[in-house]
Structure 1
Amino acid sequence: MKIRRILATAVAAAVTTPVILLSVTPALADAKPSAASQAQQQGEQDKPSIEELEKAAEKAQKAYDDAVAAGKAARVVLEAALSDDAPLTVAAVNARKKAADAATAKANADKALADAKAALAALSETATAEEKAAAEKAVTDAETAALSAEDAKATADEKAATAGRVADDARVAAAREYSTVQNATKEALKAKEAADKALADAKEEAEQDEPECVFESKLSTVVTGLPSKIVAGSTTDFSLRVTNGTDKTLDEVSPYVYFHATDKSGYHVIDDAFHLQWSTAASPTWKSVEEDGNAGSISPLKAGAHADVKLRLKVDAKAPAGDGLAFVAGDYINDDESCGVNRSSEYAFELLAAGSVADDAKPGKTTPQTPDNRPQGLTSTTPVDYGNPAGTGSLASTGTPSALPQLAAAAGAAVALGAVVVFVGRRQKAGSAS
């Protein structure tokens, strides 16, 4: 539920941000959507559902992953084709070597033929018939060898050219395939990004179309038993009563509790020194309060009924003396997805160093929480005037620590938190819940 996420974030922001600059008004708005035309209604009906968009995004992601894998494989093939050790490249090199050898053999045969012809021509007139016959035979044999060498060279040249073309074709084919796969990967990435954006837009639109959460003043969260002075290293048990003052059952109610404190300088935040646990009659085992302040849930809470949440606060013994605030709030969500939240209350306390004796550490007075009667502590009494850039508002007086100037920022933020909760209710309705 979005309201819980916003509330938890608001609590954390309220106690850690020194200046609140929220540009919202504290008034609840009930802005109804304008009438849609028939064409617009048809367009809404034709929109794919989030489930369909999720499936499309999954398919697009898989297609992109497959394209990336294919790209890696194509890269391997390209590198292999370009390598000097590629089989076709080796074959081409060998063919060129054989062609070179054949060229050398032909050159040698041509020289032998020329030498034989020269020897025949150089015979003297006194040469015997045997000498002339031998010289003529040498020429004939050299001519035969030269023709054979010429044929061998032609064959070797053709094989070298063919092997070279085959090797070149393989390299070109690998490069083209790699380029094709790269382009396919780019297109797959575009499709994936488009599918992701469509899904994100649909989810954002669905969140905007969530039913409006309202400020519910009759849902009260009141702390009892929290002393005005707490000693570091101690364990303090107190309780939180959640009351449904409305005339309807609230299907699920969630209380929130958050402790914020600084040392006496007012600049060193020591929130990590506080460890909070909760338990209820339905869930008696002690459980840690979540980081967002969620202290379990009450399901359901009938009209006029209340439920108590036991709380146990443990403070680190090494925590320095300081001043703090306990923030308390609550929200609900019903089965029909209607939801609401109350404005936060703040309880001021003084943190004493370990070993101190807090004789006057009495629980603050607790009274029913109504718009005109808030529980003791620094409590928001009116929404923040957001026309004031400083984000300040009015605070109730406190009977706990006398003056907490070092917590002024946190107190102002607490008032802002009340307005943030109200701001949650300003989201426009879009007809029905998505």
Structure 2
Amino acid sequence: MTAPVALLSVSPAYADTKPAAQTEQKPSLAELRKAVKEARQAYRAAVAAEQALEQELDATTDPSHPLMVAVAEAKKAADDAAAAKTAADQAVTDAQTKLDAATTDDEKTAAQAELDAAKKAADEATTKKTEADAAVKAAETARDDNRVAIARKIDKAQQDVKTALAAKEAAEKALADAKGEEPGEPGDPEEPTDPECSAVDALDTTISGLPSKIAAGSTVDFRMRLTNNTGRTLDEVMPFVAVGAVDKSYKDISSKLHLKSKQDGQWKSVPEEDYAGAFSNVKAGAHVDLPLRLTIDRSAPAGYGATLAVGVYGNEDETCGTGDLAVYEFTINPVGAGNSTTPAGKGNKPKPQGSASPVAGSGSGNGSADADGSLASTGSSSALPTIGLVGGAAVVLGAGAVYVVRRRKAEANG
């Protein structure tokens, strides 16, 4: 995934609750069940979108957030400018004192020249301090405006949750009323269950081999490992991976990054909003590895990047769940700067993500588990320079991804 994934839009799946006219044909139980399923999925997506925004807002208070970093850097520059101005002003005072004490023409001429130079330097220091103070104000304004913008999105998301909840309840009531009127139809299947999928840390996610510093124009190979600590065999495990980046001014440069995974022995581009591979029958305590390859365009400016990874699973008995969301951050260096041998860093574990229903693409593939049986430590996520860019991706990479599994299983069952 080479660009941030947008938060999923939420629309009520069963918004029309007006009683049908006598001449209109009533919806069948199958149609009402379908409406209930869609309404429930829309409600989960709305909740997931709100949770992702809440996490994004929380991230803005972390010292490592790009806007917080910008404020801190601006304040340091302002402090340095203030100290320089104080020193320059003192130099003017000292030069004036020397001029006042001069007795000969030569002494007065030299002291005057020194005073003129000191005044010029003081004027320049004053200008720099004014500019530095303005930069602090601009950085603080950008930080605050960003928080206000996210807060407004949260307010809208909360309204979407209410709307989706009302639509879900209306759809469920319509189905219940219809079933009350028609206790059962010969051959009709029972109402399909749609259990919540669990968000568990027992499906551990780690990234290895990703450098902490990558030069533009480089291609690096690394690996994602999913370790099954759920205590049971998982019928199908899917890895989700995304990358994002910003330049030093925090402009999105994710289009300069290209991610591939090795599927069926071939390198294939990781599709947007879909998983990067698939593994079957992952035994309890076993792990599976997915080879990954990241290429950064030569035209990419210096900046900051991050890789997000998570595993989701679905079983034949319709149990499903997600692992921990792992985020690894790296620095993008100019062309020719070379890559670091130090592994990419990881931060603190994020809040659990809600569920959503991403659009399925064609990213399924087969992989093979390593045979060494070793277990990896859990990866985790912090508020990264790219967290604002990949906040939407977290929804797709969160618990809602398992609904892709459910849908594909439903399609496979006809």
- The TM-score bracket by the shorter chain reads 0.3 to 0.5
Give the structure-2-normalised TM-score: 0.45
Give the structure-1-normalised TM-score: 0.43
